[in-house]
Amino acid sequence: MATFDVIVAGLGAMGSAAAHQLAARGQRVLGLEQYTEAHDRGSSHGGSRIIRMTLYKERGYVRLLHRAFELWRQLERQSGESLLTITGGLAMGRPDHSVIAGGLRSAEEFGIAHEQLDPDEIRRRFPPFAPTPDMVGVYEPGAGFLHPEAAVRASLGQAARHGADLRFNEPVLRWEALPSGDRVRVVTPAGVYEAARLVLTPGAWALGAAARLELPFAIARVVMFWFDPVGGTTPFLPDRFPIHVCIPHGGERFYGFPAHDGPRGGAKVAFSLVMSPCTPETIDRRVGDAEIEQMRAHLAQCLPTLAGPCIAAKTCLYTNTPDLNFVIGTHPAAPQCVVAAGFSGHGFKFASVVGEILADLAMSGETRHDIALFAPTRFSTGAGRGVVPYV
Ligand SMILES: Cc1cc2nc3c(=O)[nH]c(=O)nc-3n(C[C@H](O)[C@H](O)[C@H](O)COP(=O)(O)OP(=O)(O)OC[C@H]3O[C@@H](n4cnc5c(N)ncnc54)[C@H](O)[C@@H]3O)c2cc1C
């Protein structure tokens, strides 16, 4: 039987980063992924993920983000790939909306560089936006977006370079902690493996039988839309158009990205809180006309020239926790297993530092990062399958 120091189950955003960090520290790593590299059935596809700090009201998240930025830049140097594009970030809405008021508060409290913009200044700097007179903007110059598929591939590349054995199209069927207390056994259709530690990073499969996590996750379907701007993509290019969050009057909050995929690629937008309960097995991957029209109506209000033809739409999966904070720590029932899941629609930006934390926990049982907010034991109730707790 093949034995390893650490087995990483699930090689998406978090698992690829963990495999990289562990292998770079000299661990003998086996990585198991049920699908292909950087596939589009989980939570880490679609070309772009926002990275910004003013979203957060807890200092712990902001501290982690400082380290995440460093590690993303380090991964760029190691891989020679461009993974992080800084565009600045604009949140636009009424000043009393929690996203605007909370963004300002966190910027002031945590010393995050920012500016307040009035509607004229928003229009002058970023002509595609159409703020109403009672809206304001909070602009964060250090914000931008990550390229998720390239980032996952870069982490996997580094893991392999440091000797990790990465196997794709090989699902974990089950795992168990061995009675000796210091090893785990993992079973796949291709074999049985043992290791001192298991890192479990299953994404939206966290409620599946293979993960064995009885935690109150709620899996949800969300949609990403790509619209072709009327009049061309030039005003939407990354050197002049920021990542953004818009809160239209009486509408749904949505966020979006510059047009970074060339003249035919459009610009991507998505609702923050429009989602429907599902599982990875039951998700409807088709996107209906009504969903597209709902988004177009929101664009017509806030970004009128982006309300052109919808050229693509894709579904994706959120794994929400009841408090929307992550789950990172030792498995409640098995000290040999470390878990990272429940990233609640805002985890990608942290993946680089989550990889570091998982490597710390797997190798020594502790980490210098403050992860108290993410304790797997904080939930008193059992699994809440199919519930979207906050919508
Ligand atoms: C549409 C959308 C937009 C988002 N926007 C942002 C954003 O702007 N900024 C941000 O920070 N975050 C964002 N997020 C959230 C972020 O993308 C996720 O939190 C993050 O990608 C989750 O990473 P993960 O490793 O947990 O899951 P994944 O990357 O999905 O990885 C889990 C992996 O485990 C594998 N797996 C599962 N079970 C098994 C098994 N039994 N055996 C082997 N392999 C298995 C899966 O195939 C998958 O590859 C967004 C998410 C979505 C869906």
| 209-241 tens-digit pLDDT | 888 888 999 999 999 999 999 999 999 999 999
- Tokens of residue 234, six digits: 């030039």
d(CA 125, CA 128): 9
In sequence order, which residues have a C-beta less than 8 Å from that of residue 206 and are 6 or more positions away?
A: 213, 215, 217, 219, 319, 341, 342
The rounded distance, in Å, linking the Cα atoms of 112 and 141 is: 9
Q: Is 81 left (phi over 0), alpha (psi -120 to 50) or beta?
A: beta
Q: Is 224 in the pocket of ligand 1 (CB under 6 A)?
A: yes
The ligand 1 atom at the shortest distance from the C-alpha of residue 173 is: 41
Question: In the chain, what is the straight-line distance between the N-terminal and C-terminal CA atoms, in Å?
Answer: 47
Nearest to 69 by CA among 275, 361, 387, 351: 351
* Dist. CA 187–CA 192, nearest whole Å: 5
CA 201 vs CA 125, 209, 357: distances in Å: 41, 14, 13
Strand arrangement, sheet containing 49-51:
49-51, 144-146, 84-86
Nearest residue to 202 (alpha-carbon basis) of 279, 147, 275: 279
Q: Range with the lowest mean pLDDT among 86-90, 117-121, 176-180, 322-326?
A: 176-180
* Residue of minimum CA distance from atom 41 in ligand 1: 172
Task: Judge if the beta carbon of residue 34 lies within 6 A of ligand 1.
Answer: yes
pLDDT attached to residue 381 = 53
> 3-state class of 45 per DSSP?
coil
Q: Could you tell me the distance, in angstroms and rounded to a whole number, from the CA of residue 374 to the centre of ligand 1?
A: 17
pLDDT band at 383 (very low <50, low <70, confident <90, very high): very low
Determine the distance separating the centroid of ligand 1 and the alpha carbon of 40, expressed in angstroms.
10
Q: Residue 76 burial (CB < 10 Å; 0-12/13-18/19+)?
A: middle
Q: Could you identify the atom of ligand 1 that is nearest to the CA of residue 346?
A: 12
Whole-Å CA distances, 125 to 90, 256, 271: 11, 17, 24
Q: For ligand 1, what atom is nearest to the CA of residue 316?
A: 53
- Model pLDDT for residues 143-184, shown as the tens digit of each residue: 999 999 999 999 999 999 999 999 999 999 999 999 888 899
pTM, 2 dp: 0.96
> Torsions phi, psi of 175, nearest 5?
-145, 155
